[in-house]
Amino acid sequence: MIDCIGAYFIKDDHLFPTEMVEVLTTDSILIYEVLRVIDSVGLFLEDHYIRLMHSAKLAGIPLAMTQAYFVREIRKLIQANELSVGNVKVLIQYGSGQQAAFFYFIPHVYPAPQAYLDGVKTDCLQAERVMPKAKTVQQRLRDNANRAIRDHQLFEVILMNSEKQVLEGSRTNLFFVKGDQFFTPQSDFVLAGITRQKVLECIGELNFSCVEKSIPIATLADYDAAFLTGTSNNVLPIASIGKQKFDTMNQALRLLMKAYDEKIEAYIKKARNKGV
């Protein structure tokens, strides 16, 4: 929990000052969720809870946590820290038959407004998640990705398997556009984020279609546009993957970006109407 920021964190329903933050043991199983806070509202809380429970099941953690508890703790954390914008991490530690639940704000970096116009620079890294459908801490992959991003001055690295198929970003999901159709790697082989889920909903609401398929790196030139989705990025155009460039002003992509922003606005408005 060395990435904990703000005045307080929560452990097992109790508020503690951040100076009392704990160092977790390495022999535990760690699963987590990261969600975004905008205007003091935690976004898509119900969906994040469902995915946390799914990760626990896949990791073999008998997680006893209700949705009401999950939502209440996040709201308590937001109020205690008096932070209206940021990212919250929910971390479950499990080992020796015992578990602990942590809720805390983490450092965040949101793309500059210009990045949503110009797109971002990415490249490929040959690496795959272990148990990709569960959101578990995989520190070696994280360290390798961070090193590649730093050394090559990238916004993100795109994970690629041994068959030279692109899968996802190290912190993001990946989509492509060709004509008026969207494409993304299959859900079974990636960590399917909540933003990805909401983007798929938007694609359907716009009467576009999205095909899940294997995408070899050799076929990237077949696509008109590409973009990343993620908690901190929303829908973010990709300017390039390695030497392959993409159209950041693609019409279908721009319509999708607008639709996703409207979905966030609608969620916040609904939360406000409930008195959250």
Looking at CATH, the fold of the domain delimited by 5-106 is given as D-amino Acid Aminotransferase; Chain A, domain 1 (3.30.470)
Beta bridge partners of 65: none
Q: Which residues of the chain are in CATH 3.20.10.10 domains?
A: 115-264
pTM: predicted TM-score of the whole model, two decimal places: 0.89
For position 19, what pLDDT does the model report?
87
Cα–Cα–Cα angle for 99, 102, 106, rounded to 5 degrees: 145
Mean residue pLDDT of the chain comes to 92
What confidence tens digit (pLDDT) does each residue in 262-272 have?
Answer: 999 999 999 98
What confidence tens digit (pLDDT) does each residue in 185-233 have?
Answer: 999 889 889 999 999 999 999 999 999 999 999 999 999 999 999 999 9
Residues with Cβ within 8 Å of 220's Cβ and at least 6 positions away in sequence, in order, are 166, 176, 226, 241, 244
For position 133, what pLDDT does the model report?
58
Q: Which residues of the chain are in CATH 3.30.470.10 domains?
A: 5-106
What confidence tens digit (pLDDT) does each residue in 73-124 have?
Answer: 999 999 999 999 999 999 998 887 788 899 999 999 999 999 999 999 999 9
For position 134, what pLDDT does the model report?
58
What confidence tens digit (pLDDT) does each residue in 16-43 have?
Answer: 999 887 666 567 788 899 999 999 999 9
Distances (CA, A) of 235 to 39, 74, 89, 227: 19, 24, 20, 7
Token digits of residue 12: 């097992």
What confidence tens digit (pLDDT) does each residue in 239-262 have?
Answer: 999 999 999 999 999 999 999 999
What's the CATH class of domain 115-264? alpha beta
Q: What is the mean pLDDT of residues 44-67?
A: 93
For position 97, what pLDDT does the model report?
77
Q: What is the mean pLDDT of residues 157-173?
A: 93
For position 25, what pLDDT does the model report?
59
Cα–Cα–Cα angle for 67, 199, 156, rounded to 5 degrees: 100
For position 265, what pLDDT does the model report?
97
pLDDT confidence band for 66 (50 / 70 / 90): very high
Q: How far apart are CA 183 and CA 176, in angstroms?
A: 5
